[in-house]
Amino acid sequence: MARTTLTSLLALSLPLTLGGVALHRAHTPAPGPTSAEIDAQVWQPIAASVVNADIVAMAKTYHPAAVLVSNTGTKPVSAALDGWGKDMVVAKKNGVHATVELRFSKRQDDATTAFEVGAFKYTTTDKAGKATPGYRRMEALLVKTNGRWQTLMEHQMNPITEAEWNQLPH
């Protein structure tokens, strides 16, 4: 898989602790009920989908009209998912495994809308056991429709260094 494709596989971004995947909370106090719902309905399933190479599960966390924003433009998340799914198949065939961690520096929400700012660490591990992490800033706009939180807009921003990642709340 191309490194840029691997890095863009998530903005997503993802959960508390799930098979070696951790969601780091930005605030010291326990998250409010809305943040906890978002973690359970969006970030945890995304992290699990990365670990399990399950693009169908990942797709369920996005609104049907979701948009991916990157430094090169915008596109429907459905188009991004097609590419990410193909990358997952190739990675699995080549014995490459992936994990994702999220850290949030800002979480704003109400009962039906949310805006989250942070970064994700997307790590691939090849069959020889060599881990290669990538770090990227991200923003997400989420909506709650029919009782479910989904990402409506994911903005994958510039890469960051490991030092910058380590400075984020966790």
pLDDT per residue as tens digits for the range 87-123:
999 999 999 999 999 999 999 999 999 999 999 999 9
Residue 4 in this model has a pLDDT that exceeds 80: no
**Pairwise CA distance, residues 15 & 48, whole Å:** 8
What's the pLDDT band for 65 if we cut at 50, 70, 90?
very high
Count CA atoms closer than 13 A to 51's CA, side-chain side.
16
Q: How far apart are CA 84 and CA 53, in angstroms?
A: 9
Is it the case that residue 153 has pLDDT exceeding 60?
Answer: yes
Q: What pLDDT score was predicted for residue 33?
A: 77
**What value does the mean pLDDT take over residues 46-50?**
97
Which residues 6+ apart lie within 8 Å of 39 measured at CB?
Answer: 15, 16, 23, 31
CA geometry: angle at 36 spanning 35 and 38, to 5°?
65
Return the structure tokens found at 40. 């359970």
The pLDDT, as a whole number, for residue 21 is 41
User: Would you call 93 exposed, middle or buried from its count of C-beta atoms within 10 A (0-12, 13-18, 19+)?
Assistant: exposed
Question: Which tokens hold the place of 25?
Answer: 């909370």
For residue 157, what is the DSSP state?
A: E
What domains appear along the chain, each with residue ranges and CATH number? 3-167 (3.10.450.50)
Sign of torsion over alpha carbons 18, 121, 26, 59: negative
Q: Which residue has the higher pLDDT, 118 or 30?
A: 118
Torsion of CA 158, 9, 112, 75, to 10 degrees: 80
Mean pLDDT value across residues 23-45: 74
Residue with tokens 């800033």: 137
Lowest mean pLDDT of 32-41, 69-78, 86-95, name the range.
32-41
pLDDT at 170: 80
Q: Is the pLDDT of residue 57 over 70?
A: yes
Average pLDDT of span 34-60: 96
Whole-structure pTM value = 0.82
Question: For tokens 């169908």, what's the residue?
Answer: 56
Task: Give the pLDDT band of residue 31 (cuts 50, 70, 90).
Answer: low
pLDDT at 52: 97
